[in-house]
Amino acid sequence: MPPLESGTPHDPQNILVVDDEQQVCDILAEALTFMGHTVRVAKDGLEALQVMEKFSFDIVVTDMDMPRMDGMELIRHLVTDRNAIDIIAITGHSMKYKYTDVVAAGAADFITKPFTLNELEAKLNRLIRERHLRRELERLATRDALTGLYNRRFFQRVVRSEAIRATRYLHPLFLFFVDIDRFKDFNDQTGHQAGDDLLVKLADVFRGSLREDVDTAFRYGGDEFTVLLPHLPAEQASVVAERLRRNFKELQFAPTSLSIGIGRFLSRSESIDLDVEDMIRRADMALYHAKHHLGRDCFFFDPESVG
């Protein structure tokens, strides 16, 4: 397992500066750019939300007193809809906005005008270290230690959120259940270290065969894996399944192969959780059919998923 890393203050961040004073925006943007960060600016909270529809940010540095949407309202929006973004609040009215109130609203830190750029840089560096630490702790909690793929516990979180998104936007969502055929025979013949090497290579196959930042692979347990594929029609799901099967076959870990059961999310009850359980059950049954009725080394769609 990789060592715990807290990151360094020099890691570049995508930063949005929000202030209705153009001069302040210009000074902060120039200073933060000089520190190595990528910076964009907005004149108030409403413009900031519009900018965030087009670009992604790690950190928002925002004034508190602004027209149309002030800093406190912006902070509440970000905490609700974009909680991965950290916020540093800036104000020249220290009596109007208390540190405890701003932090309670969701800001990571608070700085009062006038301030030096050294003071801002110190707070920013601390925030970057904390972001890295949180990310590493989350990685340790959600990743399988051997393969580096997401684990079963994280699958339970992601499958529900993807199902909610598929229901809301009416796009298809497919689930693959993937099993390594004759994995026990392989372990018995070559030893458990070779079995571990095979699992690591299979994880690489997933990474190389799926859409980056769209599809997600998980180690479900032992030699069984799952894959979530949103925004994909059934014919393309077939292409991906065949690609996985073929790419693993090329590694020549005889006598192993891949069997894949495929189920589509169907919203047909009043409960997302029941519909997710139904998709998992149908994909698992499709995998059983592929292994025990079609002779392994193939994929099979749950019949309800293509009807």
DSSP structure string for the chain = -PPP----TTS--EEEEE-S-HHHHHHHHHHHHHTT-EEEEESSHHHHHHHHHHS--SEEEEESS-SSS-HHHHHHHHHHH-TTSEEEEEES-TTTS-HHHHHHHT-SEEEESS--HHHHHHHHHHHHHHHHHHHHHHHHHHB-TTT-SB-HHHHHHHHHHHHHHHHHHT--EEEEEEEEETHHHHHHHH-HHHHHHHHHHHHHHHHHHS-TTTSEEEEEETTEEEEEEES--HHHHHHHHHHHHHHHHTT--TT-EEEEEEEE----SS-HHHHHHHHHHHHHHHHHHHHHTS-SSSEEE-GGG--
My answer on whether 79 and 162 are in the same domain is no
- The residue from 139, 162, 178 where one domain ends is 139
Q: Please report whether residue 227 resides in a domain.
A: yes
113-154 pLDDT tens trace:
888 889 999 999 999 998 888 888 877 889 999 999 999 999
My answer on whether 109 and 19 are in the same domain is yes
Q: Please report whether residue 4 resides in a domain.
A: no
Q: Please report whether residue 229 resides in a domain.
A: yes
CA distances from 230 to 75, 107, 234, 273 (A): 30, 33, 11, 17
256-285 pLDDT tens trace:
999 999 999 999 998 999 999 999 999 999
d(CA 39, CA 28): 9
d(CA 108, CA 45): 17
Mean pLDDT of 24-32: 93
Query: What total number of domains does the chain contain?
Result: 2
My answer on whether 281 and 244 are in the same domain is yes
29-70 pLDDT tens trace:
999 999 999 999 999 999 999 999 899 999 999 998 888 888
Higher pLDDT, 101 or 195: 195
pLDDT band at 167; cut points 50, 70, 90:
very high
My answer on whether 161 and 290 are in the same domain is yes
Q: Is the peptide bond before 114 cis (omega within 30 degrees of 0)?
A: yes
- The residue from 75, 105, 139 where one domain ends is 139
- The residue from 89, 116, 139 where one domain ends is 139
My answer on whether 297 and 209 are in the same domain is yes
Q: In the predicted model, is pLDDT for residue 245 greater than 80?
A: yes
My answer on whether 123 and 212 are in the same domain is no
What mean pLDDT, rounded, does the chain reach? 91
My answer on whether 254 and 293 are in the same domain is yes
My answer on whether 166 and 301 are in the same domain is yes
Catalytic residues: 223
CB-based contact 117:125 (threshold 8 Å): no
My answer on whether 299 and 168 are in the same domain is yes
My answer on whether 104 and 29 are in the same domain is yes
Q: Please report whether residue 8 resides in a domain.
A: no
Q: Domain of 122?
A: 14-139
Beta bridge partners of 301: 262
Q: In the predicted model, is pLDDT for residue 3 greater than 70?
A: no
Q: In the predicted model, is pLDDT for residue 100 greater than 70?
A: yes
Q: Which of these, 277, 214, 265, lies nearest to 240 by C-alpha position?
A: 214
My answer on whether 44 and 68 are in the same domain is yes
d(CA 293, CA 272): 31
Beta bridge partners of 47: none
pLDDT band at 81; cut points 50, 70, 90:
confident
211-238 pLDDT tens trace:
998 999 999 999 999 999 999 999 999 9
Residue 271: give its domain's CATH number.
Answer: 3.30.70.270
Q: Please report whether residue 5 resides in a domain.
A: no
My answer on whether 296 and 158 are in the same domain is yes
Beta bridge partners of 248: none
Positive or negative: CA dihedral 111, 69, 42, 52: positive
Q: Please report whether residue 26 resides in a domain.
A: yes
Residue 97: give its domain's CATH number.
Answer: 3.40.50.2300
Q: Please report whether residue 24 resides in a domain.
A: yes
